[in-house]
């Protein structure tokens, strides 16, 4: 391509080619230019929001210049690329991250100051990009940061939802959902109206003879919807690599379909069709760890998979390579089962459109795909009804049946006298209606399947996917323990701690090699260092106290022990255990003499998180927390000894303030239920200790930081099944301390007891599935140990510093390198200066 452009032309382009600003003055010039021209504002009417927009546009220009160069570099070298397919990318704010990753935050701060603005106020104007529910979506965002930072040629593919996760408002203690329309003036996306893909739905399948007389299937008389690409540049930290996140937006196809209606004078119905097409990418489904089988959700999944695959295949075909080389050029990672249809779509493209033989095509497919499982919770495992799929994607259902047939034939050969295994592993569940088990397609169609923490991956192999281990051997199954990006979760969220660490280690290299943190252990006994460390934690607690004051009106004492649980509200995550523990503490304090109260360690119990709008029990938990807060916080008899806070609308930008401010945080899921958890890592990386169960990544965190630096409690995963079984057969004793808590609730201490009866009944009467009662004693006594430990300030500090020093393992840089080596087989593309 390059050689075909004549030199004089190239010369002219080079001369006027855009350049990124490199210092404060150039930044100011760009900022003022954008404010005065792009935004049509001036010195006299530029508020913080306009200053934000101008700054974002200036940085966007910088990113897009590097983005262009990166894409050219990747095209010319033409090495294997990674495609990360995820229905969720929980990105949060982009400006602060862009400033830090390109290394221009100081220049921006000074430049903004020259022009009359405070950088914090400007950064604070940005609306979070909240295209995700929780950990799964945030993990995808951390992966993009690491992929770019490590210079991997990688693309993210997702949906451009018009509405991200809803905004949560608390009204009279209840959660209310408000739509999150976030797209107005979003400077971080580039619409690509020239990059569109027609996507089919419905219709039926016809067999036709091709030119060689071979029978091929073709999908005809389908409805067509158009996918339009929107690109979001993803800058790496300290590198020129700027990768692409491509989000698809749906709109009515401009093809004949519409025109027929227009010509027939059916204008209104043509417009209605257009709106129905746009509905596909309208809203993010607000469920975390739950699938509800809605047709629109399946439409979203196919729309996004088909558009992304078309794009990937088009890029591959430009290289004119043989199809057999596809897996050497392309690795596709499925973030959960949501993109499983990509496997089917790829097979369809190869056999129906490209004319490959079934086996040849299937070999290419399985070499290309990898599948990450994020949960063992049964309610989260995706199943789609056969009639629904038959209607929406008739050809895909046929291909699924064929895959199943060949698969079951092979299994039957392998286990000749075992009928049971065939029904257990069949892709089709023989229920009414029949259901398609998406996880099974993902396993059968991939060359590697991984879990997200050691315990979770072991549970997959020993329970959920046991039969598949017997069929394929254990090597198809592996573990890649999750991480977090230290750029956002240390450097950006906790700048003071990041610079203190840099001062001690002689630079910021730890941000790209987190294992260097281990050098901090040498300073554990350094008095001055400890003092600074403690000081930073206090400042961060003050910052959170201000947020609490501004958003709830409550004043909390920053000297108190800050005890934080922020994450999606879910029974398995057990916020109910936490709030029952808080009530227990409150009752205890109420029963104490003045003398005894002097020994109490003052505590602030802080909660945050959204409940899925249809998850009644989770909403009841939020309601109880708020009612307890209203009673406790207004009880002058208790004062600062206990405060309870619910932070409204927990999101990424709030997490950046919350994570650096904990003394202790809670990761207390029923053992065996949490895939990994990632906020546990964020809190420890910021010098907070944790109380947790032996679940998810807590176990590996313990192994890394040492069991003297973590507060573990509760039953183990291996005992859960037996305990549930015993409860089911009536062997259940309500913990006596928990009984007192329930009595207080039933005596209407926190308002109408009827509001909370479902919560207490699920434990007392319905088998206590999440083992709240079984773990209660262990939980409250462990909290007593926390209080005790907090009194010894010096030892607490030593634990905090030692833990941070040992967190090197939990960077997504390590995670991405593991995927690259053991699943994708891709190499970074070194950037030459």
Residues found near ligand GL2 in the complex (CB under 6 A): 133-136, 139, 288-289, 374-375, 380, 452, 482, 674-678, 696
Identify whether 682 is a catalytic site residue.
Answer: yes
The C-alpha atoms of residue 65 and residue 18 are separated, in whole angstroms, by 7
Element at 667 (helix H, strand E): strand 664-667
Residue in 552, 620, 678, 812 annotated catalytic: 678
Query: Positive or negative CA dihedral for 122, 127, 133, 139?
Result: negative
Instruction: Report, in Å, the least distance between residue 378 CB and ligand GL2.
Output: 12
Q: Which CB sits closer to ligand GL2, 453 or 561?
A: 453
Residue in 437, 456, 488, 568 annotated catalytic: 568
Is beta strand 330-335 parallel, antiparallel or unpaired with respect to 81-85? parallel
Q: Which CB sits closer to ligand GL2, 281 or 678?
A: 678
Instruction: Report, in Å, the least distance between residue 810 CB and ligand GL2.
Output: 12
The C-alpha atoms of residue 210 and residue 218 are separated, in whole angstroms, by 10
First to last CA, the chain: 22
Task: Report the 3 state secondary structure along 690-716.
Answer: EEECCCCCHHHHHHHHCHHHCEECCCC
Identify whether 760 is a catalytic site residue.
Answer: no
Identify whether 491 is a catalytic site residue.
Answer: no
The C-alpha atoms of residue 624 and residue 9 are separated, in whole angstroms, by 69
Q: Which CB sits closer to ligand GL2, 654 or 667?
A: 667
> Could you please report the per-residue DSSP string of 24-90?
HHHHHHHHHHIIIIIS---GGG--HHHHHHHHHHHHHHHHHHHHHHHHHHHHHH---EEEEE-S-EE
Q: Which CB sits closer to ligand GL2, 252 or 823?
A: 823
Query: Positive or negative CA dihedral for 411, 413, 415, 418?
Result: positive
Q: Which CB sits closer to ligand GL2, 27 or 384?
A: 384
Q: How many CB atoms lie within 10 A of CB 750?
A: 24
Instruction: Report, in Å, the least distance between residue 368 CB and ligand GL2.
Output: 22
Instruction: Report, in Å, the least distance between residue 352 CB and ligand GL2.
Output: 32
Q: Which CB sits closer to ligand GL2, 337 or 385?
A: 337
Instruction: Report, in Å, the least distance between residue 674 CB and ligand GL2.
Output: 4
Half-sphere CA count of 586, side-chain side, radius 13 A:
31
Residue in 476, 567, 574, 806 annotated catalytic: 567
| Tokens read off for 457 | 């991956």
| Tokens read off for 822 | 């053991």
Instruction: Report, in Å, the least distance between residue 132 CB and ligand GL2.
Output: 8
| Tokens read off for 278 | 């746009």
Q: Which CB sits closer to ligand GL2, 54 or 134?
A: 134
With beta carbons less than 8 A apart as the criterion, state whether 157 and 86 touch. yes
Between the alpha carbon of residue 586 and those of residues 469, 597, 628, 749, the distances in Å are 49, 12, 10, 11
Instruction: Report, in Å, the least distance between residue 126 CB and ligand GL2.
Output: 24
Element at 630 (helix H, strand E): helix 616-633
The closest residue (CB) to ligand GL2 is: 135
Q: Which CB sits closer to ligand GL2, 90 or 642?
A: 90
Instruction: Report, in Å, the least distance between residue 497 CB and ligand GL2.
Output: 23
The C-alpha atoms of residue 536 and residue 522 are separated, in whole angstroms, by 19
With beta carbons less than 8 A apart as the criterion, state whether 669 and 574 touch. yes
Residue in 34, 573, 584, 799 annotated catalytic: 573
Is beta strand 190-201 parallel, antiparallel or unpaired with respect to 174-178? unpaired
Residue in 138, 167, 374, 627 annotated catalytic: 374
Instruction: Report, in Å, the least distance between residue 424 CB and ligand GL2.
Output: 23
Identify whether 598 is a catalytic site residue.
Answer: no
Identify whether 567 is a catalytic site residue.
Answer: yes
Q: Torsion angle of alpha carbons 505, 510, 514, 518, nearest 10°? A: 0
Residue in 60, 682, 783, 799 annotated catalytic: 682
Quick one: how far is CA 63 from the chain centroid?
Answer: 23
Q: Which CB sits closer to ligand GL2, 253 or 678?
A: 678
Q: Which residues are identified as catalytic?
A: 374, 567-568, 573, 678, 682
């Amino acid at each position: 391509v390059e050689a075909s452009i004549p030199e004089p032309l190239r010369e002219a382009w080079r001369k006027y080619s855009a350049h990124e600003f490199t210092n404060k003055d150039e930044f100011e010039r760009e900022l003022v230019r954008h404010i005065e021209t792009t935004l049509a504002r001036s010195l006299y009417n530029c508020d913080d929001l306009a200053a934000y927009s101008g700054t974002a546009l200036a940085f966007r220009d910088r990113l897009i210049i590097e983005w262009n160069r990166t894409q050219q570099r990747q095209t010319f070298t033409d090495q294997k690329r990674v495609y990360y397919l995820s229905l969720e990318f929980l990105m949060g704010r982009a400006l602060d991250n862009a400033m830090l990753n390109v290394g221009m935050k100081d220049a921006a701060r000074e430049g903004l100051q020259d022009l009359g603005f405070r950088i914090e106020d400007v950064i604070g104007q940005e609306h979070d990009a909240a295209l995700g529910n929780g950990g799964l979506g945030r993990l995808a965002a951390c992966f993009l940061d690491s992929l770019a930072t490590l210079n991997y040629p990688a693309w993210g593919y997702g949906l451009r939802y018009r509405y991200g996760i809803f905004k949560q408002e608390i009204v009279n203690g209840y959660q209310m959902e408000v739509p999150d329309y976030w797209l107005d003036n979003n400077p971080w996306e580039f619409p690509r109206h020239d990059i569109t893909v027609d996507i089919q739905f419905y219709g039926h399948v016809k067999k036709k003879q091709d030119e060689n007389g071979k029978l091929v299937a073709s999908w005809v008389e389908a409805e067509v919807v158009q996918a339009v690409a929107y690109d979001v540049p993803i800058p790496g930290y300290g590198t020129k690599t700027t990768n692409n996140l491509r989000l698809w937006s749906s709109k009515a196809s401009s093809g004949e379909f519409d025109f027929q209606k227009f010509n027939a004078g059916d204008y209104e119905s043509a417009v209605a069709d257009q709106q129905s097409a746009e509905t596909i990418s309208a809203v993010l489904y607000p469920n975390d760890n739950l699938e509800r089988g809605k047709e629109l959700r399946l439409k979203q999944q196919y729309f996004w998979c088909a558009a992304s695959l078309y794009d990937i295949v088009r890029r591959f075909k430009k290289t004119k390579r043989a199809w057999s080389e596809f897996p050497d050029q392309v690795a596709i990672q499925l973030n959960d089962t949501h993109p499983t249809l990509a496997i089917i779509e790829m097979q369809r493209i190869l056999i129906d459109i490209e004319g490959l033989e079934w086996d040849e095509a299937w070999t290419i497919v399985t070499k290309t795909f990898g599948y990450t499982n994020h949960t063992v919770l049964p309610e989260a495992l995706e199943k789609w009804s056969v009639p629904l799929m038959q209607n929406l994607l008739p050809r895909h259902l046929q291909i699924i049946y064929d895959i199943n047939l060949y698969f079951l034939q092979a299994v039957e050969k392998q286990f000749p006298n075992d009928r049971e295994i065939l029904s257990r592993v069949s892709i089709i569940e023989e229920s009414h209606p029949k259901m398609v088990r998406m996880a099974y397609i993902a396993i059968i169609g991939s060359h590697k399947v991984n879990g997200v923490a050691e315990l979770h991956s072991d549970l997959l192999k020993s329970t959920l996917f046991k039969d598949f281990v017997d069929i394929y051997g254990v090597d198809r199954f592996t573990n890649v323990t999750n991480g977090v990006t230290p750029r956002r979760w240390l450097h950006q969220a906790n700048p003071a701690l990041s610079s203190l660490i840099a001062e001690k280690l002689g630079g910021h290299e730890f941000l790209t090699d987190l294992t260097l943190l281990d050098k901090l252990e040498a300073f554990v006994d350094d008095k001055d260092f400890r003092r600074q460390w403690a000081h930073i934690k206090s400042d961060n607690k003050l910052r959170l106290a201000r947020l609490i004051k501004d958003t709830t009106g409550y004043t909390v004492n920053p000297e108190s022990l800050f005890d934080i649980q922020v994450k999606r509200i879910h029974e398995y995550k057990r916020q109910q255990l936490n709030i029952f523990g808080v009530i227990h503490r409150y009752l205890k304090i109420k029963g104490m003499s003045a003398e005894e109260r002097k020994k109490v360690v003052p505590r602030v119990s802080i909660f945050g998180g959204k409940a899925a709008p249809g998850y009644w029990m989770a909403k009841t938990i939020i309601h109880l927390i708020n009612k307890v807060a209203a009673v406790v916080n207004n009880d002058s008899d208790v004062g600062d000894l206990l405060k309870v806070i619910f932070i409204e609308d927990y999101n990424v930008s709030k997490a950046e303030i919350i994570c650096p401010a904990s003394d202790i945080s809670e990761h207390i899921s029923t053992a065996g239920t949490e895939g990994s958890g990632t906020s546990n890592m964020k809190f420890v990386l910021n010098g907070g200790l944790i109380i947790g169960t032996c679940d998810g990544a807590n176990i590996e965190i313990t192994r890394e930081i040492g069991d003297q630096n973590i507060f573990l409690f509760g039953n183990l995963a291996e005992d859960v099944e037996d305990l549930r079984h015993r409860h089911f057969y009536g062997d259940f004793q309500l913990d006596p301390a928990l009984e007192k808590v329930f009595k207080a609730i039933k005596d209407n201490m926190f308002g109408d007891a009827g509001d909370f009866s479902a919560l207490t009944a699920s434990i007392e009467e319905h088998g206590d599935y999440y083992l709240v009662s079984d773990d209660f004693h262990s939980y409250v006594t462990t909290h007593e140990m926390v209080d005790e430990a907090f009194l010894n300030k010096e030892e607490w500090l030593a634990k905090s510093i030692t833990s941070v020093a040992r967190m090197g393992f939990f960077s997504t840089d390590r995670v991405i390198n593991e995927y690259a080596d053991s699943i994708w087989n891709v190499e970074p593309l070194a950037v030459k200066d």
